[in-house]
A and B are shown apart, each in its own frame.
Chain A
Amino acid sequence: AQSVTQLGSHVSVSEGALVLLRCNYSSSVPPYLFWYVQYPNQGLQLLLKYTTGATLVKGINGFEAEFKKSETSFHLTKPSAHMSDAAEYFCAVSALYGNKLVFGAGTILRVKS
């Protein structure tokens, strides 16, 4: 079985500040991990993914995430927040095969000017 916990349903940062969104997972098999972003009334857009190999993965819009197996974490970071980053972010886990993504509850990011 797999599950995802996103710490903090709301995160607020100032423009230009570091963004850190936390994700911890539980998986009985080697996990595939994803971060998706959702802007209001839109679908989900894939930011980045971890499958195998390099544990630091870079995504779109300047985001990156590091897979830490020992901590069962996959936190999302961005060095400098921009107003356009305000959105809801979902962490998700899956097995390599199987057609099922398990989503976390989501974190709403607010960026203050």
Chain B
Amino acid sequence: DTEVTQTPKHLVMGMTNKKSLKCEQHMGHRAMYWYKQKAKKPPELMFVYSYEKLSINESVPSRFSPECPNSSLLNLHLHALQPEDSALYLCASSQAGLNEQFFGPGTRLTVL
């Protein structure tokens, strides 16, 4: 299995809602990533987990809360988001420490 899957594909939420994005991979990768991508821009790194531990937080606001329950799963918990947080959220994985990253299809998030 060489796929990274993400659910849901689309998400619409209000500013007071709490929701979660999910990402799963079964390639045995021990590094997983969250990116945010605005229209016509490159992906921006948000978080990196290495061996289930948070190794990089790119100064992301606390309304975004990542979680890595095990080596195959990565979640992004969302709370009190702003309309400017609307974007495509991409998950990726790689072998630990190496940078050939495999991306999922993304979750299109709209915050009303």
- Of chain A, the residue at the smallest CB distance from B102 is A46
- CA A16 – CA B97 in complex, angstroms? 40
A100 near B103 with CB under 8 A, answer no
Q: What does DSSP make chain A's interface, helix, strand, loop or mixed? A: loop
- CA A45 – CA B56 in complex, angstroms? 23
The yes or no answer to A105 lying at the interface (CB within 8 A) is yes
Query: Contact flags (1/0) for B96-112 with A, using CB distance below 8 Å?
Result: 01111111111010000
Q: How far is the CB of B9 from chain A (nearest CB, A)?
A: 9
Supposing A41-B108, A44-B90, A106-B41 touch, asked if A101 and B99 sit within 8 A by C-beta, the answer is yes
B101 near A100 with CB under 8 A, answer no
Interface size class of A (residues with CB under 8 A): 20 to 34
Residues of B within 8 A of A (CB-CB), count: 28
Q: Which of A43, A46, A104 is within 8 Å of B106, CB to CB?
A: A43
Q: Which of A34, A98, A104, A106 is within 8 Å of B97, CB to CB?
A: A98
- CA A75 – CA B108 in complex, angstroms? 30
Which chain A residues in 56-113 approach chain B with CB under 8 Å?
Answer: 90, 94-101, 103-106, 108
Which chain A residues in 24-47 approach chain B with CB under 8 Å?
Answer: 32, 34, 36, 41-46
